[in-house]
Amino acid sequence: MAQTSLFLQTLKSCLKEKGFTYADVAAHLKLSEASVKRIFSEENLSLQRLDQICQMLKIEISDLAKLAEQKQHQIQELSEEQENEFIKQPKLLFVAFMLLNDINFDTIVQNFNISEHEGIQLLAHLDRIKFIDLLPSNRVKLLTSRNFRWRKHGPIEKLFNQHIRKEFFQSRFAKTDECMQFGSALVSRTTLLLMHAKIEKLVGEFNELAQQDASIPFKERVGCSLVGAIRPWEFSLFDPFRKND
């Protein structure tokens, strides 16, 4: 992650931890909320405004820099051996998913078919494979960064390709809370690579919104998945129409 992005991600984490919203930042900076959102999304924050936000947080810019350095050493990707642990135990993967979504241990035990004893064993397992630090009273500290991703071509991605992808696209995407758009065109390689970056940004914004929703009660949140994909591809039906080179 670029240093600017890391710095701003750390700043957003500090705002969340102290209960500040974009609206609070906007009021403090005497800007519109839309302007503040644009500043963060475009990563265009001046030193003066950074200092003003740090004053609101009651921290120094140097403190923010130290926190950013700590975040840089967080796990962005697991090893193949670590991911295989999740494949062996689907419940372990489930608990990890819940923790990544800021669902605490008590909420997991209360709402799902996992006993307290089994849940503690699963937390201990996650601690052993260095996914979390298990703290007193079954509290956890995630060792993953906010931009954590499963390994490309790794065990979890293979699970997605074998099962989850098929289930996800079985829907007709006709309900009011479902959406699927399809576009197809002849484009340059420059445009193709530009769309890669836009998809990356969209997924990042989705993760940021999910982080903001972490403060909402568990019962008011719904499981949601976003798939962003683009690749050079043509319908196989067109293959016979192409001339051989």
Average the pLDDT over 88-92 and give the result.
92
Give the residue from 20, 133, 12 showing the smallest Cα distance to 67. Answer: 12
Half-sphere exposure of 153 (CA within 13 A, CB side): 0
pLDDT value at residue 245? 60
Residue 218: pLDDT over 80 = yes
Other Cβ atoms less than 10 A from the Cβ of 83: the count is 20
Banded pLDDT at 145 (limits 50, 70, 90): confident
pLDDT value at residue 74? 64
CB 203 within 8 A of CB 228: yes
Q: Which of 66-75, 110-119, 122-131 has the lowest mean pLDDT?
A: 66-75
Query: How far is residue 71's CA from residue 149's CA, in Å, rounded to a whole number?
Result: 15
Report the predicted TM-score, pTM, of the whole model to 2 decimal places. Answer: 0.62
236: which 2 tokens? 């196989």
CB 86 within 8 A of CB 156: yes
Banded pLDDT at 12 (limits 50, 70, 90): confident
